Structure 1
């Protein structure tokens, strides 16, 4: 079991090299003159040449990549092309914003999704039909459409939550939580429906299994059967789905942050892509990859704890 876990961790760590590498070459081969984009079309040839030399843009592509990778290994992600600030200084403060949004969405679609899935599996056909209907809506409506609807309903029509902006928790905890409510719902809604359907399917299989009938025959209460045995057996596949949904939420956060004007990594990635600021894009890709690797490791640990068969393998 430990050997398999170590190999899965090593496989996840490969992403730390693969993703930034692919991002680097895709951005670097784009037919864009970075110096002209930053300095303007009227910049002199001497100014452009000096800019390229200062940032190493006059070097071959492979040399630039090796130089970036060498510095990244030592914790130096380079400097921004647009303002010459260290990349860490640009994206570091934005990390907490994105983590607040993504972790909040993870908690919502985990807790609400599992609860709805259990109720759907144990509450009869009516509850199951309601969950199916909500799931259909959640899978069909994109997060950006839902975000606009939420703003129209709960920020404009009924001004309960702010439509845009972000307040740091160190400034005002209440306003911080309020500024995240609508973005978290928009990002988590599709995940809630997916988790609910997966939980319901796994719960129904567990409840109808032979061991469940044996427990009933031995006098086990329905509460114990559902929440102690069936839910635990269903949790393995559900945890795996949570990992997949979480990775999808990373890409969804880019759009959600843009709509709600949240100063996170997603909105910075979009801005840097428009400016062809490769070092910042590289740094954000690396940060997102690290988050994915951490989540994959946690998913493997949770699956190992919840599934005895994995522990014995």
Structure 2
């Protein structure tokens, strides 16, 4: 188990390093336009060159990367070119907002998916078909469109929750829950669709195995066999899909945060990209990549615990 964990961590570190190099090259090679935008489109080339030199863009790319990487290893991701705020501070103040939406959507989607998938697999017939049709329908609806529907129905028409804005949990737990409820539901839609189908398919395959018939022959209740034995053995593929959905939901939060005017990382990324704020965009990319790599490693470890064959 230890060697498996070390291999996965080493792979994750190499992946993160590759993302750093690729993102840095792509962003900083196109950073010349930012220097002109900062001094104005009508500015002379000499003024643009001075601004680029002030930003450090006149040095070789490898030198820029070495300085950035050395600082990043110490936790310094640089400063925003437009606000002067440290990039790490700008991201860390907004990251908990996005993570609360993402984790809430993953947990909600996972619970609903397991219930629906297990019911569909154990009760074949009309109920199974209804679950499949519902899952396919959810998969076809974009998150932002469903988010707008939720705003119109529950915020504007019924007035149950605020339409926009965000209240921090330290200010009011009830207010925090009311502001993240609709975004979490909107983001969980895709996870429910994908994981439900995976749970259903894995459980149907597991129900056909010999050990299930043996347990039933020994007199164990069908419900106990399904929810205690079959569901655990079928959890591996569903867990992989849920881990992938974490990445999808984290990315989808960019759009949903705009719909609900929530000050998360997505809003920061869109603003920084539109301005050409390369250090801030680079920081968002690296922090996001680190979170995704960490989640994938955690999912692999849980799978290895559930199914020892994965370690091989």
- Normalised-by-shorter TM-score class: over 0.9
Paired position in structure 1 for 2:100: 100
Shift of 1:35: 2.0
Shift of 1:38: 2.4
The worse-fitting range, judged by mean Cα deviation, of 230-239 and 201-210 is 201-210
Shift of 1:142: 1.1
| Residues 271, 145 of structure 1: alpha-carbon distance in 2 compared, 3 angstrom cutoff | same
Query: How many Å separate the matches in 2 of 1:90 and 1:122?
Result: 48
Paired position in structure 2 for 1:297: 297
The CA deviation string for residues 50-88 of structure 1, in whole angstroms up to 9 with x for no partner, is 433332122222322222112111211011111122111
Query: How many Å separate the matches in 1 of 2:24 and 2:30?
Result: 10
Query: How many Å separate the matches in 1 of 2:9 and 2:126?
Result: 43
Q: TM-score, normalised by structure 1?
A: 0.94
Q: TM-score, normalised by structure 2?
A: 0.94
Shift of 1:261: 1.2
- Matched residue SS, 1:304: helix
Paired position in structure 2 for 1:241: 241
| Residues 91, 31 of structure 1: alpha-carbon distance in 2 compared, 3 angstrom cutoff | closer
Query: How many Å separate the matches in 1 of 2:240 and 2:112?
Result: 17
Query: How many Å separate the matches in 2 of 1:13 and 1:119?
Result: 40
Query: How many Å separate the matches in 1 of 2:112 and 2:90?
Result: 34
Spell out the pairing of 1:172-187 with structure 2 (5 A cutoff): 172-187=172-187
Query: How many Å separate the matches in 1 of 2:31 and 2:99?
Result: 33
Query: How many Å separate the matches in 1 of 2:48 and 2:298?
Result: 47
Paired position in structure 1 for 2:53: 53
Paired position in structure 1 for 2:64: 64
Paired position in structure 1 for 2:2: 2
Spell out the pairing of 1:251-270 with structure 2 (5 A cutoff): 251-270=251-270
TM-align CA RMSD: 1.7
The worse-fitting range, judged by mean Cα deviation, of 40-49 and 116-125 is 40-49
Shift of 1:44: 6.2
Query: How many Å separate the matches in 1 of 2:162 and 2:277?
Result: 31
Residue 211 (structure 2) pairs with residue 211 (structure 1): yes
Paired position in structure 1 for 2:126: 126
| Residues 125, 197 of structure 1: alpha-carbon distance in 2 compared, 3 angstrom cutoff | same
- Matched residue SS, 2:240: helix
The CA deviation string for residues 199-222 of structure 1, in whole angstroms up to 9 with x for no partner, is 111111112221111111111111
The CA deviation string for residues 220-269 of structure 1, in whole angstroms up to 9 with x for no partner, is 11122011110011011111111111111121111111111111111111
How many residues end up aligned between the 2 structures? 312
User: For structure 1, which runs of at least 5 residues remain unmatched after alignment?
Assistant: none
**Conserved? CA contact 1:38–1:81, under 8 Å:** no
Query: How many Å separate the matches in 1 of 2:264 and 2:21?
Result: 23
User: For structure 2, which runs of at least 5 residues remain unmatched after alignment?
Assistant: none
